């Protein structure tokens, strides 16, 4: 066991190990983000669709499934951020010239702000969990207000919770800002995943960059359509 832990420690200590973890956790988060958006868009299919989806998540593995997913997501985000910060520090140290000044490097705005956007996204995830999952500072846990019948069974009214949640403009505004930062992060991060995993070559790199931008725009439009439809156009109210 100690030999395995020692090998893992040496692997993580190397820049290759950190880059691999950043790419792996990034890939996990990309899959989650896409699935989460698709699930959230069920709000446009009506109350039954999103309530059934929410009930399925809440009852998976007798209620443990959703918490395993949440803790796994949080762990992936933390590992992703910590490894990225460590890599950034190492890269900056390596770029210092003999005068002790950091050498100039041409990079995109998205790549230069990856740490800032990543930390902001982490803060948003914590807030989002407290708002819609733990339901701190609201009455979303009140069965008298947020319970509905689905197929003869009383379930949590996810549809009403989403409508009420995004009807409060500060929550919608914070959500949209977080999505803008997330998509700035994704526009660079998605392409970087393929590069780190050795799938991108000099010839295919522009294609992966376009793929990252397209994916980021898809997530931006899909996620922001919900608070905008509710807050601006009064959907569901």
**pLDDT at residue 227 in the model:** 97
Looking at residue 48, what is its pLDDT? 96
Other CB atoms within a 10 A radius of the CB of residue 213 amount to 17
The SS3 call for residue 98 is coil
Q: What is the mean pLDDT of residues 43-50?
A: 96
pLDDT at 138: 86
- Each residue of 53-98: pLDDT tens digit? 999 988 888 878 888 888 888 888 888 888 888 887 877 776 665 5
**For residue 152, is it left (φ>0), alpha (ψ between -120 and 50) or beta?**
left
What three-state secondary structure class fits 93? Answer: helix
- Hunting for tokens 């009420």 — which residue is that? 164
Q: Spell out the residues 6+ positions from residue 27 whose beta carbon is closer than 8 angstroms to its own.
A: 193
DSSP H or E run through 125? helix 114-128
Question: What CATH class does 2-96+107-231 carry?
Answer: mainly alpha
pLDDT of residue 196: 83
Residue 104 has pLDDT above 60, yes or no: no
Overall size of the chain counted in residues: 237
Q: What is the pLDDT of residue 103?
A: 46
Residue 99 has pLDDT above 60, yes or no: no
DSSP state, 14?
S
- Give all strands (DSSP E) within the chain, no chain letters: 147-150, 153-156
Q: Residue 63: its pLDDT value, please?
A: 78
Task: Please tell me the distance from the alpha carbon of residue 91 to that of residue 235, in angstroms, as a whole number.
Answer: 47
pLDDT at position 208:
92
Identify the band that residue 172 occupies on the pLDDT scale cut at 50, 70 and 90: very high
Q: Which residues pair with 154 in a beta bridge?
A: 149
Can you give the residue ranges of every domain in the chain? 2-96+107-231
pLDDT band of residue 106 (cuts 50, 70, 90) is very low
Sign of CA dihedral 76, 79, 83, 88: positive
Q: Which has more confidence, 183 or 122?
A: 183
Q: Which residues contact 223 (CB under 8 A, 6 or more apart)?
A: 37, 40, 175, 179
Per-residue buried b or exposed e for 41-62, using 16+ beta carbons within 10 Å of the residue's own CB: ebbeeebebbbbbbbeeeeeee
Instruction: Please state the pTM of the whole predicted model.
Output: 0.84
């Amino acid at each position: 066991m100690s030999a395995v832990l020692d090998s893992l420690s040496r692997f993580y200590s190397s820049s290759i190990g950190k880059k691999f973890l950043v790419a792996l956790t990034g890939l996990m988060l990309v899959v989650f983000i896409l699935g989460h958006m698709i699930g959230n868009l069920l709000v446009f299919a009506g109350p039954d669709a999103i309530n059934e989806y929410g009930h399925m998540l809440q009852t998976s593995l007798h209620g443990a499934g959703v918490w395993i997913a949440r803790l796994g997501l949080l762990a992936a985000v933390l590992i992703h951020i910590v490894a990225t910060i460590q890599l950034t520090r190492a890269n900056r140290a390596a770029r210092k010239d003999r005068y002790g000044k950091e050498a100039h490097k041409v990079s995109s705005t998205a790549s230069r702000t990856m740490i800032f956007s990543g930390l902001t996204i982490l803060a948003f995830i914590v807030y989002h969990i407290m708002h819609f999952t733990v339901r701190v500072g609201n009455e979303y846990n009140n069965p008298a207000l947020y319970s509905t019948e689905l197929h003869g069974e009383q379930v949590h009214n996810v549809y009403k919770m989403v409508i009420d949640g995004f009807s409060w403009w500060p929550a919608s505004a914070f959500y949209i800002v977080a999505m803008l930062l997330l998509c700035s992060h994704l526009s660079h991060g998605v392409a970087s995943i393929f590069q780190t995993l050795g799938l991108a070559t000099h010839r295919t790199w522009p294609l992966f960059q376009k793929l990252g931008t397209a994916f980021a725009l898809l997530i931006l439009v899909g996620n922001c359509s919900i608070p905008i439809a509710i807050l601006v156009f009064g959907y569901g109210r």
